[in-house]
Amino acid sequence: MAPAPNRADLHGATARKHGPCMKKKGPSKEETALLPPFPALVREQIHVPATPEDFAAACAEIKAAGVTGFDTEARPTFKTGDVSDGPHVVQFAIEGKAFIFQVRHEAGRAGLIDLLQSESVLKAGFGLHSDHSQIQHKFGVRIAAVLDLDSVFRKDGYSGDMGVRAAIGIVLGLRFHKSKKVTTSNWAVSELSPQQLLYAANDAYAAFRVLQGLRQHRPELLDAVMQKA
């Protein structure tokens, strides 16, 4: 990846190899912990549509942007054999803001499905394998124009799934924290907590910022991956 602010603080972690033919490894949690914090969205920048008018305005703004950070959240399952009935939350992030769609709102379902199927709205995120199957099962549609950012890092020689924390460290030279407690919280509740809203919004916003960084520093790598998508 191209040099990023405070890249030196990673102590060469992004170029580590264990042999001449081994894949590169991303920075560890200990290494990214030394970096400056990621400038996360605050509550005032997070929009949670609830009325038909809210959903129409959100969909229009997302379509106008054309490029989004994307993720979903589902109520976790803890027993072997249990199958999630998620997603319960779908989030889109654009410049300076995020939209949190709670799937329980029937008023927003048609607009959400339209966004998911839209070829003109790029949806970039991390670890989107399960999102594809859950969305197809929940809505009966296939999500279109998706870019799993993990594939970009694999193209650049990194092993496995990079994940948002390490990607923010590599591309932006910043520290991104995710709360495991919030990750495993109940995303099917009727009213999401402030912690859940901040978590969901910034998961998508971090993906958006990584995409911006890749476009700026490694456009040829991004183009190579997107042409195969």
User: Tell me: the pLDDT tens digits for 186-208?
Assistant: 999 999 999 999 999 999 999 99
CA torsion angle for 97, 115, 70, 217 (degrees, to 10)?
A: -80
Query: If 0-12 CB within 10 Å is exposed, 13-18 middle and 19+ buried, where does residue 3 land?
Result: exposed
Could you report the per-residue pLDDT of 127-167, keeping only the tens digit for each? 888 888 899 999 999 999 999 999 999 999 998 889 999 99
Give kind and range of the element (H or E) at residue 113. Answer: helix 109-117
> pTM of the predicted model, to two decimals?
0.89
Query: If 0-12 CB within 10 Å is exposed, 13-18 middle and 19+ buried, where does residue 217 land?
Result: middle
17-75+85-228 CATH, one of 3.30.420.10, 1.10.3720.10, 3.90.550.10, 3.40.50.11290: 3.30.420.10
User: What span, in angstroms and rounded, lies between the C-alpha atoms of 63 and 196?
Assistant: 25
pLDDT for 131? 86
Tokens 């992030």: give the residue: 93
pLDDT for 78? 64
Beta-bridge mates of residue 97: 94
The tokens for 108 are 């927003």
User: What span, in angstroms and rounded, lies between the C-alpha atoms of 198 and 194?
Assistant: 6
Tokens 């799934």: give the residue: 161
pLDDT for 82? 65
Q: Yes or no: say if 73 and 202 are a contact pair by the CB < 8 Å rule.
A: no
Q: What is the pLDDT along the chain (229 residues), one digit of tens a residue?
A: 544 444 433 334 444 554 555 778 899 999 999 999 999 999 999 999 999 999 999 999 999 999 999 999 998 876 666 667 889 999 999 999 999 999 999 999 999 999 999 999 999 999 888 888 899 999 999 999 999 999 999 999 998 889 999 999 999 999 999 998 999 999 999 999 999 999 999 999 999 999 999 999 998 988 888 876 6
Q: Yes or no: say if 105 and 112 are a contact pair by the CB < 8 Å rule.
A: no
